[in-house]
């Protein structure tokens, strides 16, 4: 199945209404013309993604944001200024903003919500692609629904290879966890965190002040909030690894550790120097590798909460949710 760095080929396929895997700085996305519902439907089909889970729309410029975000529907002038300040500071980069949508965005993209999630990716190939096609790209992570996100073209090929016509290879993702998602909620007039990710919340709060934390609801406001998500097939447990190794004695054990190796059958150290940014970059490849190993269980350390550590802990917590 075709993988390669041919941007023109990706452009052509996207113009023809196909869904194509593309690199971003966070994770690989499965992209289609956000204005073409038939094309967007192919994303849902390939991923087996439920229709209640809306997609992120990717743009290449602050001008293009205005096609999809209705700034006029933000009641407060202050909020508009805050949104613009965030875009100025963090774009292109791993921050997604959920804001009121324009009529141009089809309901399929937003699952019928009157808001749209939008971001400007920092990967140079993604930006070049967006500029070439001219339309915004709806793109969730390029993995089957609920599984670990892909951070290399090969990860995408391993799972979606037969289902999509092209994987644009832009090398391994440099951030390695998905974007941070925050939204402005019109009922409370507040910014709320839906998903910790590649932009540390403290950096966002340095620009717009304290933001709220999303409450759990019957239907998630953002399926990135689903308890079990980003999950390998093998059971994952998170906590004190030494103690857990005793509990699971007799099993084949794989360990995900921050900076020091454990004496187990398989042990992945995410950052020998103890750098949470480097650890985030290596997290999903390590989870995939251990999921494909002969281990019976995956045990993960709790990471320091600073910097991207919060996003790592969030993903590990969800990876473990189905077994706890
Ligand atoms: O880094 C990323 O964000 C990657 C790359 C490809 O850009 N994309 C990504 O997409 O992680 P996905 O679909 O796997 O996660 C997007 C999350 C979903 O949990 C979805 O529910 C949420 O964004 N979302 C999308 N539109 C929303 C909206 N209108 N309100 C609340 N949440 C929304
Ligand atoms: Mg995803």
User: What are 37-93's pLDDT values in tens digits?
Assistant: 999 999 999 999 998 999 999 999 999 999 999 987 676 788 999 999 999 999 999
pLDDT tens by residue, 129-155: 999 999 999 999 999 998 999 999 999
Ligand 1 proximity of 141 Cβ (cutoff 6 Å): yes
Share of the chain above pLDDT 70, in %: 93
Looking at the structure, tell me whether residues 171 and 303 fall in a common domain: no
Is the model's pLDDT at 229 over the cut of 70? no
CA-nearest residue, atom 17 of ligand 1:
224
- Rg (C-alpha) for the chain, rounded Å, is 19
Ligand 1 proximity of 223 Cβ (cutoff 6 Å): yes
Q: How far, in Å, from the CA of 30 to the mean position of ligand 2?
A: 10
Ligand 1 proximity of 176 Cβ (cutoff 6 Å): no
- 85 is a domain residue: yes
- 218 is a domain residue: no
Provide CB contacts within 8 A for 259, sequence distance 6+: 269, 270, 271, 272, 273, 274
Looking at the structure, tell me whether residues 174 and 249 fall in a common domain: no
Looking at the structure, tell me whether residues 181 and 267 fall in a common domain: no
Ligand 1 proximity of 221 Cβ (cutoff 6 Å): yes
Ligand 1 proximity of 122 Cβ (cutoff 6 Å): no
- 166 is a domain residue: yes
- 231 is a domain residue: no
DSSP-derived pairing of the beta strands 137-138 and 56-58: antiparallel
Q: Which ligand ends up closest to the CA of 30?
A: 1
Is the model's pLDDT at 222 over the cut of 90? no
- 227 is a domain residue: no
Looking at the structure, tell me whether residues 108 and 254 fall in a common domain: no
Looking at the structure, tell me whether residues 302 and 208 fall in a common domain: no
How far, in Å, CA of 240 to CA of 54, rounded? Answer: 35
Looking at the structure, tell me whether residues 149 and 204 fall in a common domain: yes
Ligand 1 proximity of 96 Cβ (cutoff 6 Å): yes
Looking at the structure of the chain, the number of domains it has is 2
How far is residue 32 from each of residues 91, 136, 200, 292, measured CA to CA in Å?
21, 8, 28, 30
pLDDT tens by residue, 193-208: 999 999 999 999 999 9
CATH of the domain at 120: 3.90.870.10
What are phi and psi for residue 106, nearest 5 degrees? -65, 150
What is the reported pTM?
0.94
Q: Among 54, 95, 146, which is best to mutate for testing ligand 1, by the most ligand atoms less than 8 A from CB?
A: 54
Report which of residues 230 and 123 the model is more confident about.
Answer: 123
CATH of the domain at 242: 3.40.50.11030
CA-nearest residue, atom 18 of ligand 1:
224
- 219 is a domain residue: no
- 209 is a domain residue: yes
Looking at the structure, tell me whether residues 55 and 181 fall in a common domain: yes
Looking at the structure, tell me whether residues 32 and 102 fall in a common domain: yes
Helices (H) and strands (E) in the chain, counts: 11, 15
pLDDT score recorded for residue 77: 82
Question: Per the structure block, which two tokens stand in for 260?
Answer: 């020091």
Looking at the structure, tell me whether residues 203 and 263 fall in a common domain: no
Is the model's pLDDT at 217 over the cut of 70? no
Looking at the structure, tell me whether residues 184 and 63 fall in a common domain: yes
- 272 is a domain residue: yes
Ligand 1 proximity of 290 Cβ (cutoff 6 Å): no
pLDDT tens by residue, 18-41: 999 999 999 999 999 999 999 999
CA-nearest residue, atom 12 of ligand 1:
140
How far, in Å, CA of 4 to CA of 8, rounded? Answer: 11
Range of the domain at 302: 236-319
For residue 147, the Cα-to-chain-centroid distance in whole angstroms is 11
Looking at the structure, tell me whether residues 258 and 200 fall in a common domain: no
- Beta carbons within 10 angstroms of residue 260's beta carbon: 11
Q: Which ligand ends up closest to the CA of 175?
A: 1
Looking at the structure, tell me whether residues 147 and 273 fall in a common domain: no
Ligand 1 proximity of 113 Cβ (cutoff 6 Å): yes
C-alpha distance across the termini of the chain, in Å: 37
């Amino acid at each position: 199945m075709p993988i390669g760095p041919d941007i023109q080929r990706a452009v052509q396929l996207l113009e023809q209404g196909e869904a194509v895997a593309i690199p971003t700085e966070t994770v690989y996305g499965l992209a289609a013309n956000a204005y073409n519902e038939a094309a967007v439907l192919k994303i849902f089909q390939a991923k087996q993604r439920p229709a209640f889970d809306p997609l992120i729309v990717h743009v290449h410029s602050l001008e293009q944001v205005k096609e999809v975000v209705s700034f006029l529907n933000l009641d407060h002038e202050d909020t508009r200024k805050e949104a613009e300040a965030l875009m100025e500071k963090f774009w292109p980069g791993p921050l997604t903003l959920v804001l009121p949508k324009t009529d141009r965005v089809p309901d399929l993209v937003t699952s019928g919500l009157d808001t749209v999630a939008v971001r400007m990716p920092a990967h140079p190939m993604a930006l070049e692609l967006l500029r070439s096609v001219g339309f915004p790209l709806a793109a969730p992570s390029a993995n089957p629904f609920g599984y670990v996100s892909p951070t290399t073209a090969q990860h995408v090929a391993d799972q979606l290879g037969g289902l999509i016509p092209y994987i644009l290879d832009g090398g391994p993702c440099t951030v390695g966890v998905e974007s941070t998602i925050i939204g402005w909620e019109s009922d409370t007039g507040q910014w709320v965190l839906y998903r910790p990710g590649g932009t540390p919340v403290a950096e966002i709060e340095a620009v717009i002040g304290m933001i709220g934390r999303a409450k759990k609801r019957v239907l998630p406001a953002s399926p990135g909030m689903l308890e079990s998500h980003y999950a390998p097939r093998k059971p994952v447990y998170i906590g004190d690894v030494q103690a857990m190794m005793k509990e699971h004695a007799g099993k084949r054990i794989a360990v995900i550790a921050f900076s020091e190796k454990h004496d187990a059958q398989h042990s992945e150290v995410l950052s020998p120097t103890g750098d949470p940014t480097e650890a985030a970059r290596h997290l999903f490849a390590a989870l995939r590798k251990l999921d494909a190993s002969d281990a019976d269980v995956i045990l993960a350390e709790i990471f320091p909460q600073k910097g991207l550590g919060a996003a790592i802990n969030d993903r590990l917590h969800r990876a473990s949710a189905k077994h706890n």
